[in-house]
Chain A
Amino acid sequence: MNSAQPATRPAQSNVMAVSPSPASPPVPAFEASKVCVWYGTKQALFEIDLTVRKREITAIIGPSGCGKSTFLRCLNRMHELVPSARMEGKITLFGEDLYGATVDPAIVRRRVGMVFQKSNPFPTMSIGENVIAGLRLNGIRDRAFLNEQMERSLRLAALWDEVKNELHRPGVSLSGGQQQRLCIARAVAMEPEVLLMDEPCSALDPMATAKIEELMQELKKNFTIVIVTHNMQQATRCSDQTAFFYMGKLIEMDSTAKIFSNPGQKQTEDYITGRFG
């Protein structure tokens, strides 16, 4: 039974575990090979080969319409919500094929959490209910566990101290930055292995953005993070690896330091120096 799966995981949860020593070799989390995506007859992604390392932050940058959000959505099969979308190629997460014939997209999405551009707490739920919505609607009834997970997730999202006395208030009563952290808490409550962030700060002011970026460095200890961003400073500040997409192709991927100081491709250099895009 699928819905019971998350209930059993927290027992041997690795979320609270100590992060590996920096010296250990990188472990691949996602491995994408020859990923192509079409919307109807229009091809949006061309043979993307890309590896996301475990417990690192991978930034995907590129101009609007370059396919970076499409690629991100392939990582948790959210692109399937668009009826005309079609994907070819292979994506594995820790060696398991996410697109296997027997793989339920809902299971993929429990392993791969997502935070959206615009914060979207459920309007009918309180702050607390929002955090545990994923657990509850996946069939977990154990009140004590839910409460424990609510606090833990809010702490992970650096929101606990601000909301601990008003958990019953509507989620949408929070400020924009708080709402986005609430959405992060809601995603991490499922204890996913990876967190996808689709321009999570583009609607936030610099203060709230700084807070989220700080939070990402904390989350990195427990989660693998892939972030799509328009903001190159943000990619520089917080990511370990950067991938540059242009017109549906992966132009270049390397360590963030390398990409922003000494890119291998002319197009990358033009983009990061602001010559286009």
Chain B
Amino acid sequence: MNEISAVRARGDQHRYRKAKSTFVAGLCILCGVLVVTPLALVFGYLVIQGASSVNLDFFTQLPKPTGEVGGGMANAIVGTFTLLALASLIGVPLGIFGAVYLAEYGNSRVNWWLRFSSDILNGVPSIIWGIVIYGIMVVPMKGYSAWAGGVALGCLMVPIILRTTEEVLLLVPQSYREAALALGIAKWKVISQIVIKTARKGIITALLLAFARVAGETAPLLFTALGNSFWNRNLSQPISALPLQIFSFATSAFDDYHRQAWAGALVLVSFVFLLNITVRFLTRKGA
């Protein structure tokens, strides 16, 4: 009896095999549900705990001194956006120009090293960035500052933007580059006017993902931006950020601070959520 007829002869095991198949499919569905559950639980719990405290004061008021009830996180919200803006000064140009180099210019050996180091950087724990920036900026400048916080977040953004942008640039068909070059258009114009424009949705997606990734970072800010109970009027001074404010309120002993930490967490998660939904929306319509 050859192999095939042996397999055919096992026809009587049909029910057993069907049960096995159902079991494996069930296991996969269960794991799928287990992946989604924490997100639903976290978000649901944040809504329950924080929604009642998300009010106008939260967005417009400074934190009240310890012991006083009320106040908000206006400075932390503005601080987060300030830090993101500073971070993009580093992350966006380095990431995009690096990706253009990888996709359009680099030779394979240099590219291999660039990708390798970028992937290593991507895996560096964010607190390491905080300590590094503390050493090279905070100590020499003799103080925590928004600049240092922005640089720390910017360093985190570079490898994310670099690799994602490189991928979308490589997705642009070679035939568009050829068509443009055959018109006698200079290479840098082909890249800036044809390739990047064709890939622009993908690049925006890469940027949003990077923002979403670093917006909630706390560790690198602890050593750099430090946090601030007041408005930051000078980027050389410490600045508040939502994750820092949540951290400091959540670890305090006052109920009203806890209430606001929940609200802050809800706002931060909603912001990241919104960024991700925007990304979904952009990618759904094709790059």
Known: A137-B189, A137-B193. A122 touches B179 (CB 8 A): yes
Residues of B within 8 A of A124 (CB): 194, 197-198, 200
Shortest distance from the beta carbon of A134 to any chain B beta carbon, whole Å = 3
Shortest distance from the beta carbon of A121 to any chain B beta carbon, whole Å = 8
Q: Are B198 and A122 in contact (CB under 8 A)?
A: yes
Q: Are B198 and A187 in contact (CB under 8 A)?
A: no
Secondary structure class of chain B's binding surface, majority of residues = helix
Q: Are B176 and A107 in contact (CB under 8 A)?
A: no
Shortest distance from the beta carbon of B34 to any chain A beta carbon, whole Å = 41
The CA-CA distance from A254 to B42 in the complex, in Å, is 78
The CA-CA distance from A132 to B198 in the complex, in Å, is 17
Interface centre among A108, A123, A187 (most CB of B within 10 A): A123
Interface-lining segment among A44-52, A112-120, A152-160:
A112-120
Residues of A within 8 A of B178 (CB): 78, 81, 116, 120
Task: Determine if B182 is an interface residue (Cβ-Cβ < 8 Å).
Answer: yes
Residues of A within 8 A of B185 (CB): 106, 133-134, 137-138
Q: CB-CB contacts of B168-187 with A at 8 A, as 1s and 0s?
A: 00000101111111111110
Q: What bracket does the count of chain B residues touching chain A fall in?
A: 20 to 34
The CA-CA distance from A78 to B176 in the complex, in Å, is 13
Known: A118-B175, A137-B189. A123 touches B182 (CB 8 A): no
The CA-CA distance from A186 to B181 in the complex, in Å, is 12
In A80-122, which residues have CB < 8 Å from any B CB? 81, 83, 106-111, 113-114, 116, 118, 120-122
Residues of A within 8 A of B182 (CB): 76, 78, 109, 113-114, 116, 187
From B177, B183, B193, contact of A110 by CB (8 A): B183
The CA-CA distance from A116 to B185 in the complex, in Å, is 16
The CA-CA distance from A118 to B176 in the complex, in Å, is 11
Q: CB-CB contacts of B29-46 with A at 8 A, as 1s and 0s?
A: 000000000000000000
Q: CB-CB contacts of A170-207 with B at 8 A, as 1s and 0s?
A: 00000000000001001100100000000000000000
Residues of B within 8 A of A3 (CB): 186
Residues of A near any B CB (own CB < 8 A) = 3, 76, 78, 81, 83, 106-111, 113-114, 116, 118, 120-124, 133-134, 137-138, 183, 186-187, 190
A sample of 22 cross-chain residue pairs with beta-carbon separation below 8 angstroms, ordered by A number, consists of: A3-B186, A76-B182, A78-B181, A78-B182, A83-B107, A108-B184, A110-B183, A116-B178, A116-B179, A116-B182, A118-B175, A120-B173, A120-B178, A122-B198, A124-B194, A124-B198, A137-B183, A137-B190, A137-B193, A138-B184, A186-B183, A187-B183
